[in-house]
Amino acid sequence: MIGFVFSAAIFSMPSVSAPLKVLFCLILAMTVYPFVKVGPEVTAGFGDNLILLAGREIIIGLILGFLTRLFFFAVSMTGEVISISLGLSSAQLYNPMMASQGGVIEQFHVIIGSMFFLLLNGHHILISALVQSFDLIAVGILSLKTGPLVELATFGQDLLILTLKMSAPVLVSILIANLAMGILGRAIPQINVLVTSFPVTIMLGLIVMFVGIPLFVFEMNGLVDITATKLMQVLKTL
């Protein structure tokens, strides 16, 4: 529970204080405990095995929590790619989800992504996956496989593809605008293309970004489904 809550998306935000996280861990533990199947190693008494089993559960929680954070990595990466293409990457704000500095466009995408993650019941998916993990992974078995590493690698590949899809409208529009400004600069040398293109690309990129919000939401819906599927696949390989 501790490893999951302190590493999972939404629950691990720095704005949520540590006492609240610990309290949430206790509430989840008391809620899930009656449904947990305990192996013989746990009931055999305190010893080295119990410490190893506790460490194993923490590692599993960290793996599941990190997997859920990849959703917001994709959303944040989309905003960062758009910020760089618009030339706004130097405008930095604090990103509470990643606990680091981020661009204005990146922060906007993180806020939109967080809202729709909650609207799509993403937090319910996280808690449901945590509860199902105790059915798919016996608590008292002292073993840990490397299968989840392969699933995490494939999930990262899927996230990169989705990031390109979500940022593609802005990237394509900026590319077309730069080509048009280049042709205009060759046709009319008196125009300072470097100075003129900067506000044009920003305005065009922002317009396309806001018009493309429905596409962004549609891709996020698919991203939530992929996250839920990968969670189940990782649980089955542990």
Which pLDDT value is given to residue 96? 62
Is 188 part of any domain?
A: no
Which pLDDT value is given to residue 141? 61
How far is the CA of 114 from the CAs of 10, 32, 54, 160, 217, in angstroms? Answer: 8, 26, 31, 19, 11
Is 199 part of any domain?
A: no
Is 193 part of any domain?
A: no
Is 65 part of any domain?
A: yes
What is this structure's pTM? 0.74
Is 189 part of any domain?
A: no
Is 201 part of any domain?
A: no
| Gap between the Cα atoms of 171 and 183, Å rounded | 18
The total of structural domains in the chain comes to 1
Which pLDDT value is given to residue 98? 58
Is 90 part of any domain?
A: yes
Summarised one tens digit per residue, pLDDT across range 17-59 is 778 878 888 887 787 777 666 655 555 554 566 777 777 778 8
Q: Which residues contact 79 (CB under 8 A, 6 or more apart)?
A: 102, 103, 105, 106, 107, 108, 109, 110
Instruction: Look at the chain and count its residues.
Output: 238
Is 174 part of any domain?
A: no
Domain range enclosing 29: 2-164+214-237
Q: CA triplet 23, 25, 30: central angle to 5 degrees?
A: 95
* Per-residue tokens: 86: 């618009």
Q: Residue 213: pLDDT above 60?
A: yes
| Gap between the Cα atoms of 115 and 103, Å rounded | 18
Q: Residue 166: pLDDT above 80?
A: yes
Beta-carbon count within 10 A of 58 CB: 16
